[in-house]
Amino acid sequence: MIHNPMVEILGAKEIIVCAGAGGVGKTTTAAAIALEAARRGKRAAVLTIDPARRLASALGLKELTNDPTKVSPRKFTAAGLEVEGELWALMLDTKTTFDEVVMRYAPSRDQAERIIANRFYRNISSTLSGTQEYMAMEKLYELHADGQFDVIVIDTPPTRNALDFLDAPRRLTDFFESRVLRWFLFPYMKAGGGLMRMANVAATTFLRIVKRIVGADVLDDTAEFFANLEGMYDGFKERAGEVARLLKSDVTSFVIVTSPAADSVEEATFFATRLNESGLPFGALVVNRVHPRFGEDPIDPKPRQLHRLAEGGERARLLARLLENEEEFRKVVELEERNLDDLARRVPRHRWIRVPYLEIEAVDAAGLRAIGERLFGPAA
C-alpha cells in the first residue's frame, strides 16, 4: 500500500494549517482538504485570511463572513461527490475579531466600548502590522475551543507573512507593552479625569514636537487607548501562550503548499526550516502544478536531424516541430526537478504529494474534486 501523508493527517488531526507562497494554489488546497474531511463524514470548517473571493467562488457561495457559513451538500452533488458530513467556511474579518477580543479581555463593558470607540484603535485595528495574523490565531483558537468542528483547515497569508502568523501574538503584545512608547506618552495619560504630569523633560520635549506634527487630538487618542488597555495585557499574553501551545500540540499539522518554480521552492524551504526550528508539527508537502514526465528515455534528436526533417515534407516538418516542443518541455521538467531536489534536502520525499497541472481550473466543486483526488486518491 502506498503511503499517503494527507490521508494520515486527515484521519488524526483537528487543525490543519496550509502555508505557502502566493499563487501556488494554497486556498484551493485548503478548500479541497476541508471538502474531503466533510466527504468522509466529519464536520469541517475552512478559514481563509485572504480577502479575495476565490474560496467563496469555489464553494459556490456569494460571500463569506467572519462567522461560519454552511455549504449545502447539493452544491457538490453535480460534481459527483456525496458529502456525508458538513462543510462550513468563513473569511477572517480582522476588525470584527479584534472588537470581540477587546470585549472578551476588558475588565468592564464600559472600558471595552471606550476602546472600540477610540479613533486610534479604529485606525490600528485593521492596519497595525501583525494584527491580521494575531486575529487569525484568535479565530482559530475560538473555533477549536468551541468544539463545534471535527477538523479546522486554515488558509494562511503567503509564506513570509505566514511567519508573522507564527510571531504575531508575541509581536502584538510586545507593542501593547512597549515601555518606550508608554514612557513618551505618560505625560498625556489621563487618570481620574485629570492629566498626569511628570518631570520628564525628554518625553515632554518629544511630545511637544510630535504634537506640532500630528496634532494634540492624535496624542490624546493614543494615550487614552493605552490607558484603557490597562488590565488587559495579561489576557492577551495568556491567549498568545495558549495559541502557541495549540499550534505545537498533537492535534495540529502544518501542510506546506508550493509549486516547482524556484521562488516558490525557496519560500517552501524557508518555511520548512522555520517549522523545524520552532518545533511545530510538519505533516506534508503539496507540490502543486507539476509538469508531467513523458517517459524516462525521451527522444533526443540531433540538430542536424531536425534540420533535415524541417526541410522535408509536411509530415516531416510537423514531426520536427513536435520534437522541438518535446525538447523544450523536457527542459522545463528538468528545471523543476532540479528545484525540487533542493527542497528534498529539507523535506523527505515520502511526505510529498504531487498535484499535476489539471485540465480544469479549481474554481468550483468539480475543480475541488479533481484536486482532492490528487491529494487523497479517487473518491469511493
Task: Using the predicted structure, report yes or no on whether residue 137 has a pLDDT greater than 70.
Answer: yes
Contact 235, 141 (CB under 8 A): no
Mean pLDDT value of segment 80-98: 91
Contact 173, 32 (CB under 8 A): no
Q: Which residue has the cell 498568545?
A: 240
pLDDT band at 156 (very low <50, low <70, confident <90, very high): confident
Mean pLDDT value of segment 107-129: 83
The pLDDT of residue 360:
72
**What average pLDDT does the chain have?**
79
Contact 288, 28 (CB under 8 A): no
Segment among 255-259, 260-264, 289-293 with least mean pLDDT: 289-293
Q: Which residue has the cell 525521451?
A: 298
Cell numbers at 115, concatenated: 476602546
SS3 309: helix
The per-residue pLDDT for range 139-152, each reduced to its tens digit, is 999 999 999 999 99
Domains of the chain: 5-292+334-376 (3.40.50.300), 303-333 (no CATH)
Task: Using the predicted structure, report yes or no on whether residue 164 has a pLDDT greater than 70.
Answer: no
What are the C-alpha distances in Å from 216 to residues 191, 205, 207, 227? 17, 14, 9, 16
Higher pLDDT, 38 or 190: 38
pLDDT band at 311 (very low <50, low <70, confident <90, very high): low
The pLDDT of residue 276:
87
Q: Is 192 left (phi over 0), alpha (psi -120 to 50) or beta?
A: left
d(CA 74, CA 86): 11
Q: Kindly state the percentage of the chain with pLDDT values over 90.
A: 29
The pLDDT of residue 42:
97
The pLDDT of residue 292:
78
d(CA 87, CA 185): 48
286 beta partners: 257, 353
Mean pLDDT value of segment 70-91: 89
Give φ, ψ of 353 to 5 degrees. -130, 125
The pLDDT of residue 215:
46
Cell numbers at 279, concatenated: 518545533
CA angle 229, 91, 69 (to 5 degrees): 115
The pLDDT of residue 250:
95
pLDDT band at 355 (very low <50, low <70, confident <90, very high): very high
| Residue 220 exposed, middle or buried by CB count within 10 Å (0-12, 13-18, 19+) | middle
The per-residue pLDDT for range 54-75, each reduced to its tens digit, is 788 888 888 889 999 999 888 8
Task: Using the predicted structure, report yes or no on whether residue 205 has a pLDDT greater than 80.
Answer: no
Higher pLDDT, 315 or 20: 20
Q: Which residue, 27, 95, 143, 81, is CA-closest to 379?
A: 81
The pLDDT of residue 149:
97
pLDDT band at 300 (very low <50, low <70, confident <90, very high): low
Task: Using the predicted structure, report yes or no on whether residue 342 has a pLDDT greater than 50.
Answer: yes
Tell me the one-letter amino acid at 46.
V
